[in-house]
């Protein structure tokens, strides 16, 4: 962030900015951003919600699983969840007596189970569409699968959308925006035309078309979401590049014979990132909303995969089962809200001039 861009809040903070710029360390700016971000309790709450979500996604197997953490069987002790990871990466095997057993029915075994002793795929046809109870906190679906387990594991999808879809959007958006803004003239004209097309295209329709035509895969779907949602980022990047390109330090870099690529990505990009980051965070929220709509429509997501949107979809077929509608929807809502809060908080910290843009 250059000096003339920093907030004109108070004299001290202006001094502080100068100091960090003088140190020239990237960490300096970001630790300053974090310090100011922390002061906003609402944005911080959003950040904590996202962190909890990330924790849930990371440790989903330990929170909801039908195999125990620790089990004593026939005098030997096992750590089945860890073992399942070891088996998963093909480093080990299940002991013969534990291969394909149901730990809950294992006789003479003493086991410690996770708080939600189910897996999203554990079908129990004897208890379909059970309302919430002590046994199934959030109830079950029509196959008797535990909703809580489905939601905990579904958080992985929510989180990975952030990385995959928005990651792709960021790469496309920054590269196209940088090229348009840096070279200007006819290059800008052509690329801006592409932006225009992407903006007036019925994106959601394009999305369901592509997702329905390709084989159902959650990562493909995320990639498609990314490929249709880069325009906002690209336009922000272009506008920033157009502005920064004419600053003296860029002119001098060009005069010194620095290559175009180096000027674009080493000299201009770091200064153009601030407003882009806000749109990236808001983009994550948008991608989660789109994914929930897609899996609600049952497009692009494999039928056996439990996502928040697919649980919601079941509710539209069984309208008495309110728990199928309330919990997963609330989860999407809270996640999106949390990302919005973080985005708003970052917007205030990074660029006070940006208002009312989404």
Contact positions vs other proteins (CB under 8 A): 193-194, 196-197, 199-206, 208-210, 212-215, 285, 289, 292-293, 296-297, 299, 309, 312-313, 315-316, 319-322, 325-326, 328-330, 332-333, 336-337, 340, 344, 355-356, 358
**Could you tell me the smallest distance in angstroms from the CB atom of residue 145 to other proteins?**
18
Residue carrying the six token digits 């697919």: 310
| Calpha distance 134→170 (Å, rounded) | 44
**Could you tell me the smallest distance in angstroms from the CB atom of residue 245 to other proteins?**
19
**Could you tell me the smallest distance in angstroms from the CB atom of residue 86 to other proteins?**
37
| For other proteins, the closer CB: 117 or 226 | 226
**Could you tell me the smallest distance in angstroms from the CB atom of residue 217 to other proteins?**
12
Q: Are 338 and 255 in contact (CB under 8 A)?
A: no
**Could you tell me the smallest distance in angstroms from the CB atom of residue 103 to other proteins?**
35
| Calpha distance 276→282 (Å, rounded) | 10
| Calpha distance 225→122 (Å, rounded) | 30
Torsion sign (Cα): 128, 130, 135, 138: positive
**Could you tell me the smallest distance in angstroms from the CB atom of residue 203 to other proteins?**
6
| For other proteins, the closer CB: 96 or 213 | 213
| For other proteins, the closer CB: 263 or 312 | 312
| For other proteins, the closer CB: 19 or 199 | 199
| Calpha distance 270→250 (Å, rounded) | 12
**Could you tell me the smallest distance in angstroms from the CB atom of residue 312 to other proteins?**
5
């Amino acid at each position: 962030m250059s000096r003339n861009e920093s907030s004109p809040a108070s004299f001290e903070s202006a001094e502080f900015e100068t100091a960090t710029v003088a140190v020239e360390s990237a960490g300096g700016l970001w630790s300053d951003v974090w310090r100011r971000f922390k002061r906003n309790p609402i944005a911080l709450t959003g950040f904590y919600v996202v962190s909890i979500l990330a924790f849930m996604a990371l440790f989903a197997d330990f929170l909801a699983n039908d195999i125990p953490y620790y089990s004593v069987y026939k005098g030997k002790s096992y750590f089945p969840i860890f073992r399942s990871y070891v088996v998963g990466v093909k480093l080990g095997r299940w002991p013969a007596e534990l291969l394909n057993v149901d730990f809950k029915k294992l006789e003479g075994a003493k086991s410690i189970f996770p708080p939600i002793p189910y897996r999203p795929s554990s079908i129990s046809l004897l208890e379909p569409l059970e309302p919430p109870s002590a046994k199934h906190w959030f109830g079950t679906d029509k196959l008797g699968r535990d909703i809580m387990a489905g939601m905990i594991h579904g958080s992985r999808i929510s989180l990975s959308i952030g990385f995959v879809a928005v990651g792709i959007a960021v790469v496309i958006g920054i590269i196209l925006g940088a090229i348009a803004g840096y070279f200007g003239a006819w290059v800008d004209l052509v690329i801006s035309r592409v932006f225009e097309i992407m903006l007036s295209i019925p994106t959601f329709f394009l999305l369901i078309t592509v997702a329905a035509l390709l084989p159902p895969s959650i990562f493909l779907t995320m990639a498609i979401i990314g490929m249709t949602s880069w325009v906002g980022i690209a336009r922000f990047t272009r506008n920033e590049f157009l502005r920064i390109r004419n600053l003296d330090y860029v002119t001098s870099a060009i005069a010194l014979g620095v290559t175009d690529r180096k000027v674009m990505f080493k000299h201009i990009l770091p200064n153009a990132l601030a407003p882009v980051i806000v749109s990236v965070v808001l983009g994550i929220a948008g991608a989660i909303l789109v994914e929930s709509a897609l899996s609600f429509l049952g497009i692009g997501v494999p039928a056996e995969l439990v996502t928040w949107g697919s649980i919601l979809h079941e509710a539209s077929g069984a309208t008495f089962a309110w728990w199928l509608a309330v919990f997963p929807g609330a989860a999407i809502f809270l996640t999106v809200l949390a990302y919005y809060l973080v985005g708003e908080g970052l917007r205030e910290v990074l660029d006070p001039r940006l208002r009312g843009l989404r």
